Amino acid sequence: MNKLLLVGLGTAACFNAQTQGMLNFANYTPGGIVDAPVFRPDGTGAGAGFTAGLFLVRNGGSLEPLFPTAKFRTSSPDRTPYIVSTTIYLPGTWSGDVVTVRMRAWETAAGSYEAALIRGESNDIRVMLHAYYPVDLLGLQGFTMVVVPEPGPGGLLALGGGLWLLAARRRNLERGAP
């Protein structure tokens, strides 16, 4: 009985592993079926020092990171705008499921997209998953990253002043003053 249970659980695990959807996380495929280069703000390819991630776009627009991330190729001296291809598995999905994904790129040293001062993202694309081979990101468009300005001293001063005014108004309301 125990052997039969183990065989059944093993078969179910294998079936489940084979039925999850797969994506080919690449912004270039042979033959140019997908050709979506990523550039730095100065117009050169992203290259070394930048990371790309694929994000699942959920209902309502929230983004869920998919793993693993990918590094940009460094084989050319002019900084290549293409990432090293990797397969991403989407647990909980089935062959035939349609998902929406978005590619983001950022400075690796920043640690995350949100913390990076140079970053950018692609258009959203919809892909139909397959369980036996990873599907390409057809419809992915290239993009140029931008420099995200840090808040300057004037912006911080205005923010602090606004918070001070709100606190003063609250104190006045608590005292009964209009």
Write phi, then psi, for 3 (nearest 5 degrees): -65, -40
105 occurs within a structural domain: yes
102 occurs within a structural domain: yes
Average pLDDT over residues 12-32: 76
| Listed residue (117, 107, 113, 112) closest to 150, CA to CA | 117
Q: What is the pTM of this model?
A: 0.75
Has residue 86 got a pLDDT over 70? Answer: yes
6 occurs within a structural domain: no
The domain tally of the chain equals: 1
Has residue 143 got a pLDDT over 60? Answer: yes
Range of the domain at 124: 20-170
The confidence score (pLDDT) of residue 155 equals: 64
How many C-beta atoms surround the C-beta of residue 125 within 10 A? Answer: 18
1 occurs within a structural domain: no
Helix (H, G, I), strand (E, B) or coil at 72: strand
149 occurs within a structural domain: yes
156 occurs within a structural domain: yes
The confidence score (pLDDT) of residue 165 equals: 78
Q: Are 55 and 65 in contact (CB under 8 A)?
A: yes
7 occurs within a structural domain: no
Domain CATH number, residue 54: 2.60.40
pLDDT tens column, 31-70: 889 999 999 999 999 998 999 999 999 999 999 999 999 9
Listing DSSP states for 136-176 in one string gives P-TT---EE-EEPPPP-HHHHHHHHHHHHHHHHHHHHHHHT
- Which amino acid appears at position 93 of this protein? T
76 occurs within a structural domain: yes
Please give the DSSP secondary-structure letter assigned to residue 84. Answer: P
